[in-house]
């Protein structure tokens, strides 16, 4: 048995940024257009008008101030309201692969490794741009990695589930070095025309290198243990799938083919589920002095509740870092962004926990110790 460790992490951040003010201006123009087109139906009471959004509403509801996206031109066009990405040829690397390789290269550099040193690639994300061949195998090829690769989808929990899978294989000796990468193009499966959720997501890619601690070339985080759990719920759902052609209504887009959630129920049910999961994990390991919580970045209020429950008090500045205000919800990548940006200051022997959670419901936690 070998001791797995995180020896490197990396983040790819798209150059384009959409502020809340920009997003609100675009959404309200769309709302005005729809309301004007349906003025008679609205006046007759047959249709409700599309309400305006506001930056104040967005920040109060989520804590988000801006988000990074691959393309803002389409998202902000009231006649389009989705990203406009060039169709890639089959002989070109996919968009997710391109993002992933950037994040992987940064993680490998931090670990002092080359792509050829890797013998497992896991692409763990909330959506894949195609069914097959696996995006992970394309990433493997672009990195020049050996061994094998596969895709994994556990929605917003994908990163921690991927780390558990990689850590288990490193621990058993079936692989020596792995990279778990989370390319998230959330702008592609968000309904930007829905006031209740149009502000939630952003695009990003993250990567973590997991290898035997004995092979580490510098400082590292020993993976003490991992824990994952799932419980079925329809409260976060996306019904887009390959059987859409078989439906009587054909292939036309429907609202449920994008991100859907019952936010109030999610908050009420996920907060206690995640808090209990983390506390049970720490108790099982006999740890009461966890120094840092790197949480899934979905909602500031949600994280504040979880952090207070797990710590038994309001977390002090830096104990539960938030990147939500700058990145928005980046699905599986959020907790890894927080880890990558806010982990260097931990001292040897101090503990931290990475935790991601979301659709499924699903929750995964990774307990680490600084070396």
Catalytic residue among 104, 156, 186, 228: 156
CA distance 103 to 221: 19
Half-sphere exposure of 97 (CA within 13 A, CB side): 21
In this structure, the number of other CB atoms found within 10 A of the CB of residue 26 comes to 21
**Cα–Cα distances in Å, from 188 out to 171, 280, 331, 339?**
36, 36, 12, 25
Distance CA(224)–CA(50), nearest Å, equals: 50
Three-state DSSP state, 261: strand
Per-residue tokens: 302: 């949600």
d(CA 188, CA 195): 16
Q: At what angle do helices 20-37 and 55-62 cross, to 10 degrees?
A: 120
Radius of gyration of the chain (CA): 21
CB-CB contact of 183 with 99 (8 Å): yes
**Beta pairing class for 236-237 and 260-261:** antiparallel
Nearest to 323 by CA among 337, 333, 310, 313: 337
**By CB neighbour count within 10 A (0-12 exposed, 13-18 middle, 19+ buried), where does 314 fall?**
exposed
Residue 9's DSSP bridge partners are 208
Element (H, E) at 229: strand 221-230
Retrieve residue 337's tokens: 């962004």
Q: For this structure, is 186 an active site residue?
A: no
Cβ–Cβ < 8 Å for 297, 307: no
Q: What's the CA gap between 151 and 123, in Å, rounded?
A: 5
- Active-site residues, by number, are 156
């Amino acid at each position: 048995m070998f001791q797995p460790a995180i020896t490197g992490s990396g983040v790819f951040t798209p150059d384009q940024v959409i502020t809340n003010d920009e997003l609100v201006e675009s959404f309200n123009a769309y709302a005005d257009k729809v309301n004007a087109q349906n003025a008679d139906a609205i006046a007759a009471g047959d249709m409700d008008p599309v309400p305006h959004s506001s930056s104040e509403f967005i920040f109060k509801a989520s804590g988000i101030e801006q988000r990074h996206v691959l393309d803002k031109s389409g998202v902000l066009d009231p006649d389009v309201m989705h990203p406009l990405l060039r169709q890639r040829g089959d002989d070109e690397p996919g968009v997710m692969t391109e993002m992933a390789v950037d994040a992987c290269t940064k993680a490998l550099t931090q670990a002092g490794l080359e792509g050829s040193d890797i013998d497992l690639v896991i692409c763990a994300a909330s959506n894949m741009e195609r069914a097959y061949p696996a995006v992970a195998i394309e990433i493997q090829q672009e990195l020049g990695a050996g061994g094998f690769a596969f895709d994994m989808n556990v929605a917003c929990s994908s990163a921690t589930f991927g780390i558990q899978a990689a850590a288990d294989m490193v621990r058993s000796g079936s692989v020596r070095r792995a990279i778990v990468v989370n390319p998230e193009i959330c702008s592609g499966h968000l309904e930007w025309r829905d006031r209740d959720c149009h502000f939630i997501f952003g695009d990003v890619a993250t990567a973590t290198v997991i290898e035997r601690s004995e092979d580490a070339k510098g400082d590292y985080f020993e993976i003490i243990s991992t824990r994952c759990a799932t419980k079925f719920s329809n409260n976060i759902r996306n019904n887009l799938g390959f059987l859409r052609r078989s439906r009587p209504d054909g292939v036309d887009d429907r609202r449920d083919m994008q991100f859907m959630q019952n936010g109030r129920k999610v908050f009420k049910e996920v907060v206690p589920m995640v808090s209990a999961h983390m506390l049970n994990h720490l108790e099982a390991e006999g740890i009461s002095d966890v120094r840092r919580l790197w949480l899934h970045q979905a909602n500031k209020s949600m994280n504040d509740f979880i952090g207070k429950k797990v710590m038994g008090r309001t977390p002090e500045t830096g104990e539960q870092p938030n990147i939500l205000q700058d990145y928005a919800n980046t699905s599986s990548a959020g907790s890894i962004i927080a880890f990558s940006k806010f982990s260097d200051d931990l001292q040897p022997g101090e503990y931290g926990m990475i935790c991601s959670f979301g659709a499924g419901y699903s929750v995964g936690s990774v307990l680490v110790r600084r070396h």
